[in-house]
Amino acid sequence: MAVAYQRILLKLSGEAIKGNRDYGIDPKFLVFIAKEIQQGLALGVEIGIVIGGGNIFRGIPASENGMDRVAADYTGMLATVMNALALKDALAKVAVDARIQTAIEMKEIAEPFILDRARAHLKKGRVLIFAAGTGNPYFTTDTTAALRAAEIGADALLKATKVDGVYTRDPMLYDSAQKYDQLSYMDVLKNELNVMDATAISLSKDNRIPIIVFNMNDPGHLVRILQGEAIGTLIEGENHVIV
């Protein structure tokens, strides 16, 4: 079956893998995500993943409460490694071969990030999980996702969220919130829409990588996007959508 994208970078937030829990990891929900990824892989799509750590630790709130920002950010990077290990385990349970590459070297549990090796894994049909952010403080995992997407030559960056796209305001709080089907990068930047941080949007714009924001909690959404169906909100191009 023809697909719209041959290689993607999937951005999973830490919040996305905690399920209905207040914090931590929901193993059953993680297996659900693994099955969704498995279906995408079965289409022949090469899949890289960047995973956040907000379900375990958030660096910015910690620094705002007195923790040194650099120490807080490195702690957050380690939280992403924990999530990567849990995701790799869930993928193994559904017979998906996966590898983890980390921006901070920890050879006992993961490979260091090496671009040529990363591309080789993807070409061999392995899911590749990028952990530990960029390895530098002051950078979010959204920025990491845009950076890795550019480095591996991804055709699209898919951001999984708990809502089905980008809205005029938080749909969880406001019934009047309206969904955007399509936006330009400049729309997001100029209107300060809460999608990804400005660095991530700018990186995607500079490298012409379309961003699709969608709800990963709905079964089948990932596969339908890979098949070219218009789901969620598409961010690309220079033309302004918001007037």
Burial of 202 (0-12, 13-18, 19+ CB in 10 A): middle
Residue 112 has pLDDT above 80, yes or no: yes
Mean pLDDT of the chain: 93
Question: What are 183-193's pLDDT values in tens digits?
Answer: 999 999 999 99
Element (H, E) at 152: helix 141-152
Regarding predicted confidence, which is higher, 62 or 187?
A: 187
Question: What are 161-171's pLDDT values in tens digits?
Answer: 888 999 998 88
What homologous superfamily does CATH list for 7-235?
A: Acetylglutamate kinase-like (3.40.1160.10)
Residue 243 has pLDDT above 60, yes or no: no
Percent of the chain with pLDDT over 90: 77
Residue 59 has pLDDT above 80, yes or no: no
Query: What is the SS3 assignment for 215?
Result: strand
What is the arithmetic mean of pLDDT over 197-215? 97
Regarding predicted confidence, which is higher, 52 or 23?
A: 52
CA distance 11 to 145: 6
Domain boundaries in the chain? 7-235
CA 31 to chain centre: 17
